[in-house]
Structure 1
Amino acid sequence: MKLVDFWQGKNKFFCKGNIITGPDWYKGILTGSFITLISCLIYAFPLNYYVSQKTYAPVAIFTIFLPISIYYLCAVATHDPGYIPKQSSLFTTKANDALNEYITSPKPLIIQHKGTLLKMKFCKTCMLFRPPRSSHCSICDLCVEEFDHHCPWIGNCVGKRNYVYFFKFLLSTNSLALTAFACCIAHVSNSNNLGEEKSQIVSLILAVLLFFVLFFICGLFGFHLYLLFTGITTNEKIKQTWPQREFNPYTLGSPLQNCGVKYKNRKSKPQFDPKVVISNYTEDFNPNLVLRNVKVVKTFGTAEDTLDNKSSRPSGMGPRLPQSPLVSENP
């Protein structure tokens, strides 16, 4: 049985767990299809004009930015943003209401970081104390490390482990759109050639469309450039977690150092291993140990097993612990 069969979030796994996306994964496909469609029109009209004029520089620049933009779109849409597996047991009955109310309503933990007191809230859905800067995504139904936002254009969360890919996607897409917009404007403004009226009309329509696209993505890129340099996230900015910049204990003061921290977070270890498979299912199997990327080699038996082992061994010796390999990793 595969580990993804025990997954309690709303995510989708593909390619034997190598690809993880949000429940609205199709939005990333729609965004990629839109970019591809506009690119085909750009090739067919304004860039075709440059080829006829034997001017290949705009064609080469556009051809460089297009695959880069598509690559980073796929990277951010299929990469683990830093999901934290739920810690609730699959086998609990929650029969004791009084105990369950106590467990699911604990007081928040207070920790200190660089002289700042931070509150670690308890997530009742995931049954865990959220690490600092983490938040619960209602769409994916999981907590995410350094949660930034759930992007509706890519169908995945943006967090600790894929924020760099998201920023590079914005950068490459802006470069692609600016190049296409400049090519369309240059084609429309060139009215010396006869027989280009229909092609120029299409280029004009594309230029108007790209203007509105650039208005949105340039503003988004500028906003995230500000967040990156100041060392905060979109979630913290919206909630006004740090009213003043000097109150933020996670910023290093220098924009270059803040960028370096984001780049290092891209290589942080995930909180689960989707490639793990269960080789031997037992009643006392704890899925959280597997989800936390811990290989189980020993486990205590049931009460009946303990009594049988104790009665069968000489006096003065404790019960023997039965070895039960539960999981094995896929090569």
Structure 2
Amino acid sequence: MMKNCEYQQIDPRALSVSPSSAQNHAGKSAQRPRRKWEVFPGRNRFFCDGRIILARQSGVLPLTLGLIVVTCGLFFAFDCPFLVEHLTVFIPVIGGVLFVFVVISLLRTSFTDPGILPRATPDEAADIEKQIDTSGSSTYRPPPRTKEILINQQVVKLKYCFTCKTFRPPRTSHCSLCDNCVERFDHHCPWVGNCVGKRNYRFFYSFIISLSFLTSFIFGCVITHITLRSQASKSLVQAIQESPGSVVELVICFFSIWSILGLSGFHTYLVASNLTTNEDIKGSWSSKRAAEESGNPYSYNSIITNCCATLCGPMPPSLIDRRGLLPLDEPIPAPSASEMELPPFVAKNDAHMEENCQDFALSCTA
């Protein structure tokens, strides 16, 4: 038998919303001042009310930080007590200073605006894209893809960005992963969870250099520890059993030290030449190209001057003003096509296809 069920009738008027209440709710939400990071068009994530900026694909950053913390933690727990007793007390001091410097450099690289350029407003974009032909009639034509300027008596081409609706300044490139134009774009580094550009390159360089010293220091100390312990116990197997954490450190350092040292040497060469990874991979100033493009117009022809200009210059201000307040009468910008989730079979703009492939390849260089 089926049991009787009682249904309570709901008045449909209770579920309806009056137009006046909807307008009041919309008016209250519209009156609330919003910060610019809340409607930022790029693919970034913001924390601490816009003070911290990260790329949306920042999942490798915890792995980077975790490997550093775990390796150093094992070093201080298993190796330092033995080395302090048999060698010197300065070993944990040196390791601690290097560890703090590495972590601070990593976080500053990850949380700093790399030099994102703001996108053009609708009026600015319309002014650039509106062309006037020779007959004097106002017509719409696609804007030119390049514009040539002179830098140190050398022709430099500026490309038009169809996403940001503006001509990119010299050494600026559009990151396809973050969907932003970045000044002095070097590359997108998944290990730090951010682009590396004009405003955070010095932090990135100090991070990889200090990480090279830290990895080499721990690697040498672990080998010394295992050697001394095996000599005392006259057995390598017993020494490993007494300090199993040292073996984990040895494996991590052995497989990472070569890539870290190679990356540090490569970026030292770039700093001394005043080049970027983007320019080096694309061969922008390679002698194999045309004669008019054979020289680097940004080089000062001095290693010391190039290093000072790249690493020691004043920190440029952020241009996106992510914590600024939007005017109440300013409409909220609609998301661009690049922000929407498109099916994988949808092809992108032909003007972006080649450049996005090159920019995506740069994300694997670090």
1:240 is matched with 283
1:193 is matched with 232
2:24 is matched with none
> Which of the numbers 249, 256, 281 marks the counterpart of 2:329?
281
1:43 has 2:107 as partner: no
1:261 is displaced (CA, Å) by 1.2
2:163 is matched with 125
> Which of the numbers 38, 42, 50 marks the counterpart of 1:17?
50
1:271 has 2:319 as partner: yes
Aligned runs of 1:296-307 on 2, under 5 Å?
none
Is contact 1:149–1:157 with CA below 8 Å preserved after alignment?
yes
2:65 is matched with 32
Offset from partner CA, 1:239-269 (integer Å, 9 cap, x none): 0001139600000011111111113555112
Aligned runs of 1:128-139 on 2, under 5 Å?
128-139=166-177
1:255 is matched with 303
1:197 is displaced (CA, Å) by 3.9
Is contact 1:83–1:143 with CA below 8 Å preserved after alignment?
yes
Q: Could you tell me how far apart the structure 1 residues matched to 2:79 and 2:242 are?
A: 7
Q: Could you tell me how far apart the structure 1 residues matched to 2:182 and 2:94 are?
A: 37
Aligned runs of 1:87-236 on 2, under 5 Å?
87=120, 89=122, 105-190=143-228, 191-194=230-233, 196-236=239-279
Q: Could you tell me how far apart the structure 1 residues matched to 2:311 and 2:157 are?
A: 26
Q: Could you tell me how far apart the structure 2 residues matched to 1:28 and 1:113 are?
A: 37
Is contact 1:161–1:266 with CA below 8 Å preserved after alignment?
no
Offset from partner CA, 1:35-84 (integer Å, 9 cap, x none): 00111111121223223437312111101100110000000000011001
Q: Given residue 60 of structure 1, which amino acid in structure 2 is its aligned partner?
A: V
Question: What is the SS of the residue equivalent to 1:193?
Answer: helix
Is contact 1:46–1:199 with CA below 8 Å preserved after alignment?
no
Deviates more, 1:192-201 or 1:117-126: 192-201
Unaligned runs of 5+ in 1: 288-331
Question: What is the SS of the residue equivalent to 1:20?
Answer: strand
Question: What is the SS of the residue equivalent to 1:260?
Answer: helix
**TM-score, with length taken from structure 1:** 0.78
Q: Could you tell me how far apart the structure 2 residues matched to 1:165 and 1:116 are?
A: 30
1:200 is displaced (CA, Å) by 4.4
The percent of aligned pairs where both chains have the same amino acid is 34
Q: Given residue 73 of structure 1, which amino acid in structure 2 is its aligned partner?
A: L
User: How many residues in Structure 1 have an aligned counterpart in Structure 2?
Assistant: 281
RMSD in angstroms over aligned alpha carbons? 2.8
Q: Could you tell me how far apart the structure 1 residues matched to 2:301 and 2:294 are?
A: 9
**TM-score, with length taken from structure 2:** 0.71
Unaligned runs of 5+ in 2: 1-33, 133-138, 288-292, 335-366
Q: Could you tell me how far apart the structure 2 residues matched to 1:230 and 1:282 are?
A: 45
1:202–1:151 CA distance, 2 compared to 1 (3 A): same
